[in-house]
């Protein structure tokens, strides 16, 4: 086992010399061939490599910089993830991904716009929730291609919506992986031009952790997006760990109160206090607010008569296919 530690140490030393400020570690996965257990262990090199790859995934999953042996039981999970990742890579081509829309309602009850939400209908596994495949796509970088496709779809939708009513908006979720790429700005600009929409109808939803990871770069990117005429919304507001100073410095237009705070309204004292704090901060900073996950009339009533609060949730609309949504809301 000592030679494995030698490898890890050598890699660490070499990489720290090359990149002074970065800590690099090596995860190692080991598969071994035991001629006495031929029934248990296949001897084909391809199988051995796959086993080693699954083992290295276990090593990474347990925190990185570690060592893991192939083990059929724990590798089943890794194998599943690997398969899902490969399937996701082909999902766009196979037309298994599609966008649904969920209405957002203005104070007074009129339609304000919609949020675009991604869906994956897997050929054999059925519907896979975005909560499961978006983090996977972020880890593998596939979110860059998938997110660009979602944006294209959403802007085509916005073009239809704006022909109907120029004030309608479409909100698109954007992952930190996408927004922190320098190329993102040009890609958005190209799509805005292609679809000839009024950019002020496009709202990009980002989460607070963008500011934790890369505060400077995130600020620059948001500034560039603002210069294109686009609006920025902070999704799941109140659930992150970032400092609030970014609200002061950055061109943020909207806060989306996370549905976990809406759940307890109007009776839960803590939820209602927190929501009031968010509303008051948003009021001072002149930000628009969207309450998401509104399911009950009593929750909607909590926000009644507040001029700048928009509502989104099952009470008004379930996320539905784009054409169905047009029929329901634009006619
Ligand atoms: P999110 O952006 O916060 O979206 C709101 C989620 O709440 C959606 O779940 C929506 O279906 C659900 N929802 C809406 N109204 C209600 C309600 O009244 N009650 C309850 N219980 N839930 C409600 P969904 O579609 O499963 O999406 C989950 C998350 O996946 C999204 O959270 C977003 O973070 C991410 N996501 C979805 N589509 C995309 C995408 O195209 N790109 C990226 N990067 N992330 C996406
Ligand atoms: Mg969202
Ligand atoms: Mg949210």
3-state secondary structure of 102: strand
Residue 167 belongs to a domain: yes
Res 268: pLDDT: 96
Q: Could you tell me if the CB of 118 is within 6 A of ligand 1?
A: yes
Q: Could you tell me if the CB of 144 is within 6 A of ligand 1?
A: no
Question: pLDDT by residue (tens digit) across 207-245?
Answer: 988 888 788 999 999 999 999 999 999 999 988 877 788
pLDDT band at 20 (very low <50, low <70, confident <90, very high): low
Q: Could you tell me if the CB of 176 is within 6 A of ligand 1?
A: no
Q: How many angstroms does the Cα of residue 1 sit away from the middle of ligand 3?
A: 47
Nearest CA to ligand 1 atom 43: 173
Q: Could you tell me if the CB of 236 is within 6 A of ligand 1?
A: yes
At 231, give phi and psi (nearest 5°): -105, 155
Mean pLDDT score of the chain: 90
Do 282 and 148 fall within a single domain? yes
Do 97 and 209 fall within a single domain? yes
Residue 252 belongs to a domain: yes
Question: pLDDT by residue (tens digit) across 56-113?
Answer: 888 888 887 888 888 877 677 778 888 899 999 999 999 999 999 999 999 989 999 9
Q: How many angstroms does the Cα of residue 206 sit away from the middle of ligand 1?
A: 12
Range of the domain at 246: 91-330
The pair of structure tokens assigned to 314 is 């099952």
Contacts of 185 (CB under 8 A, 6+ apart): 221, 224, 225, 228
Ordered DSSP codes for 219-282: HHHHHHHHHTT-EEEEEEETSS---THHHHHS---EEEE-HHHHTTTTT-HHHHHHHHHHHHHH
pLDDT band at 18 (very low <50, low <70, confident <90, very high): low
Do 99 and 12 fall within a single domain? no
Question: pLDDT by residue (tens digit) across 279-328?
Answer: 999 999 999 999 999 999 999 999 997 888 999 999 999 999 999 999 99
Question: pLDDT by residue (tens digit) across 153-177?
Answer: 999 999 999 999 999 999 999 999 9
- Provide the total of helices (H) and of strands (E) in the chain, helices listed first: 14, 12
Q: How many angstroms does the Cα of residue 164 sit away from the middle of ligand 2?
A: 23
Res 24: pLDDT: 74
Beta strands per DSSP E along the chain:
28-30, 67-69, 97-105, 111-122, 126-128, 169-173, 202-207, 231-237, 254-257, 288-292, 309-312, 320-321
Q: Report yes or no: 267 and 301 within 8 Å, Cβ to Cβ.
A: no
Do 50 and 160 fall within a single domain? no
Q: Is 38's pLDDT higher than 60?
A: no
Q: Could you tell me if the CB of 131 is within 6 A of ligand 1?
A: yes
Name the domain count of the chain: 2
Do 38 and 113 fall within a single domain? no
Question: Which residue among 17, 39, 70 closes a domain?
Answer: 70
3-state secondary structure of 25: coil
Q: Could you tell me if the CB of 130 is within 6 A of ligand 1?
A: yes
Do 55 and 122 fall within a single domain? no
**179: nearest Cα among 135, 236, 235, 217:** 217
Q: Which residue has the tokens 């995860």?
A: 27
Residue 85 belongs to a domain: no
Do 159 and 258 fall within a single domain? yes
3-state secondary structure of 329: helix
Q: Report yes or no: 229 and 158 within 8 Å, Cβ to Cβ.
A: no
- For ion ligand 3, residues whose CB falls within 5 Å: 235-236
Contacts of 251 (CB under 8 A, 6+ apart): 222, 223, 225, 226, 232
């Amino acid at each position: 086992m000592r030679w494995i530690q030698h490898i890890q140490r050598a890699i660490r030393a070499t990489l720290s010399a090359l990149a002074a400020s970065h800590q690099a570690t090596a995860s190692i996965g080991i598969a071994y061939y035991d001629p006495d257990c031929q029934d248990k262990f296949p001897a084909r090199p391809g199988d051995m490599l796959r086993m080693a790859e699954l083992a290295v995934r276990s090593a990474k999953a347990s925190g990185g910089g570690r060592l893991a042996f192939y083990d059929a039981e724990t590798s089943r999970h890794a194998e599943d993830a690997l398969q899902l990742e490969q399937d996701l890579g082909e999902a766009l081509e196979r037309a298994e991904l599609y966008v649904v829309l969920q209405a957002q309602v203005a104070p007074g009850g009129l339609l304000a716009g919609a949020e675009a939400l991604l869906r994956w209908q897997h050929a054999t596994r059925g519907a896979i929730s975005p909560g499961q495949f978006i983090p996977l796509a972020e880890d593998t970088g596939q979110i860059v291609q998938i997110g660009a496709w979602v944006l294209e779809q959403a802007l085509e939708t916005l073009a239809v919506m704006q022909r109907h009513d120029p004030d309608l908006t479409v909100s698109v979720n954007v992952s930190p992986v996408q927004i922190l790429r320098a190329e993102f700005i040009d890609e958005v600009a190209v799509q805005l031009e292609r679809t000839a929409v009024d950019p002020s109808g496009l709202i990009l939803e980002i989460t607070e952790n963008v500011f934790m990871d890369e505060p400077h770069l995130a600020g620059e990117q948001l500034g560039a997006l603002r210069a294109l005429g686009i609006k920025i919304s902070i999704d799941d507001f109140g659930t992150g760990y970032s400092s609030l100073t970014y609200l002061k410095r950055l061109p943020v237009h909207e806060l989306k109160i996370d549905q976990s705070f809406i759940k307890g309204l109007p009776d839960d004292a803590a939820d209602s206090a927190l929501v009031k704090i968010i509303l008051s901060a948003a009021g001072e900073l002149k930000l628009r607010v969207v309450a998401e996950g509104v399911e009950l009339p009593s929750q909607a009533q909590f926000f009644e008569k507040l001029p700048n609060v928009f509502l989104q949730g099952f009470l008004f609309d379930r996320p539905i296919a784009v054409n169905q949504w047009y029929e329901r809301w634009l006619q």
